[in-house]
Amino acid sequence: MTVNGVAFIWYYGSPKYTDVGYRPKQPVPYSHKLHAGDLGMDCRYCHTGVERTAVAGVPPTETCMNCHTLVLPASEKLAPVRESFATGKPIEWVRIHKSPDFVYFDHSAHLRANVGCESCHGNVRQMEEIEQKEPLSMGWCLDCHRSPEMALRRPDQVTVMEWVPPADQEEFAKNFMAHKDIAPPKDCSGCHR
């Protein structure tokens, strides 16, 4: 195989090429732009496990119906939600952000370290449909583990989208990491258990 052939396979087979921009059709046309953006709903209202468990999870239908029993209760777009609520059968959402099975990833550990949601998921408040914005590859994760300063935020800024690092970000991150004893793993066993 030629050098050009190897380069072709290396780039076009990488997550940066194959995964970034992944936006599957979902069973319900849910707009993060409307809910998280225009209405200002906090990520944690729907993704309730994100601070306590390894998986952020998708909300159960009951969470949707907390509002939609009163808001647009007859909307045709919400027919699958009403059917799920009536039958108890969960909506089969298509997962977008997924680590390979051989990788251990814990959302709650990242939230405890005050890693901003936008660092990995992009600005979801502008997304009509959620899509993968980062490659989530081993190299991409290791880059952040080696230099996490720009991903760490003050606690009240974790879910802020379009976040602009303050002038003292480097100093804040250094002090925060020392105070909270944050040392992202850089060896294989940190993510491959």
Does residue 27 belong to any structural domain of this protein?
yes
Write out pLDDT tens, residues 150-179.
999 999 999 999 999 999 999 999 999 999
Residue 138 and residue 144: Cα distance in Å, rounded? Answer: 10
Whats the size of the chain, residue-wise?
A: 193
Does residue 154 belong to any structural domain of this protein?
yes
Write out pLDDT tens, residues 10-57.
454 555 556 899 999 999 999 999 999 999 999 999 999 999 999 998
| DSSP symbol at 35 | I
Does residue 124 belong to any structural domain of this protein?
yes
Does residue 69 belong to any structural domain of this protein?
no
Tell me which amino acid residue 4 is.
Answer: N
Instruction: Please give the tally of structural domains in the chain.
Output: 1
Residue 142 and residue 163: Cα distance in Å, rounded? Answer: 22
pLDDT beyond 50 at 126: yes
pLDDT, mean of residues 97-120: 95
Does residue 68 belong to any structural domain of this protein?
no
pLDDT beyond 90 at 9: no
Q: Are 10 and 2 in contact (CB under 8 A)?
A: no
Mean of per-residue pLDDT scores for the chain: 92
Tell me which amino acid residue 163 is.
Answer: W
**176 in helix, strand or coil?**
helix
Does residue 189 belong to any structural domain of this protein?
no
pLDDT beyond 50 at 6: no
pLDDT in the model for residue 19 = 87
**158 in helix, strand or coil?**
coil
Token readout for 161 is: 């989208």
Does residue 76 belong to any structural domain of this protein?
no
Domain that holds residue 114: 3-58+93-181
Q: Are 142 and 186 in contact (CB under 8 A)?
A: yes
**H-type alpha helices, 19-93:** 32, 43-46, 61-68, 79-87
| DSSP symbol at 159 | T
